[in-house]
Amino acid sequence: MKKYLLASVAALGLVAAGAASAADLPSRKGPVAAPVYVPAFTWTGFYVGANAGYAWGNVNTSNGWGWGGRTTTVGDLDGFVGGGQVGYNYQMGQFVLGLEADLQGADLNTGRNIYGDRVKTEYFGTVRARVGVAFDRFLPYVTAGWAYGNVKTSFSDIAGNIYSSDNSHTAGYAIGAGIEYAVTNNIVAGVEYLYVDLGDKRVLGSNVKLGTDFSVVRARLSYKF
């Protein structure tokens, strides 16, 4: 009986030794792949893009409008706008600070009233600061700054003669808000609202002052460098 027990113990020892030796052999498993970290998106950088939309607004007059004692309103203006923008954003944590300039071609027109009076704006532009809060690839923001543009006026006297004036209004301002979404690391799409006031000017040296202000809603597409 003792012989059998000694033989069993010896066999178990040999099995244990073999298992230990096998554990010390080099593994045939492949190397462990290193984790891949995707860099977080940042809004910091220059961008350039294009936009298009619709605008509507008012033509305001003071000290009367018209000739020969008649006074008339010119009417509201509206039409399509389109142009380009260029700017720079800098992200600090969730906050994004930026500066943007844009130039717009416009077809804002009051149409002629019964006296032949009409006001048109054919272009305008802005230079604005932007402040936003980033939610990863979403960026809601507010914006404000300086605005400029041209205002063409044409009107007739009581004899039916047409007079025209093309004034550049440079004392205006623009305020608004928008939201952008980074479709990729370089392509940014958005929608923006702006209120633009181009100030007022005297018309042909008369006592009549003409002021133009309007709202703009436009879609934007930018390439971020």
Q: Give pLDDT, residue 202.
A: 74
DSSP string, 96-161: EEEEEEEEEEEEEE----TT--EEEEEEEEEEEEEEEE-BTTEEEEEEEEEEEEEEEEEEE-TT--
Q: Give pLDDT, residue 119.
A: 85
Per-residue pLDDT of the chain (225 residues; tens, 9 = 90+): 555 544 454 444 544 555 445 455 555 666 666 666 667 899 999 999 999 999 999 887 765 555 444 445 567 889 999 999 999 999 999 999 999 999 999 999 887 776 677 888 999 999 999 999 999 999 999 999 999 998 888 776 666 666 677 777 777 999 999 999 999 999 999 999 999 999 887 776 666 777 889 999 999 999 999
Q: Give pLDDT, residue 6.
A: 45
Dig out the tokens for 190 from the structure.
Answer: 């958005």
Give the separation between CA 44 and CA 192, rounded to whole angstroms: 20
CA distances from 206 to 26, 62, 194, 203 (A): 98, 11, 31, 6
Class of residue 23 by CB neighbours under 10 A (exposed 0-12, middle 13-18, buried 19+): exposed
Q: Give pLDDT, residue 61.
A: 72
Dig out the tokens for 160 from the structure.
Answer: 């039916």
In the CATH scheme, what architecture does the domain 45-224 have?
A: Beta Barrel (2.40)
Q: Give pLDDT, residue 38.
A: 62
Query: Where exactly are the structural domains of the chain?
Result: 45-224
Give the separation between CA 20 and CA 32, rounded to whole angstroms: 24
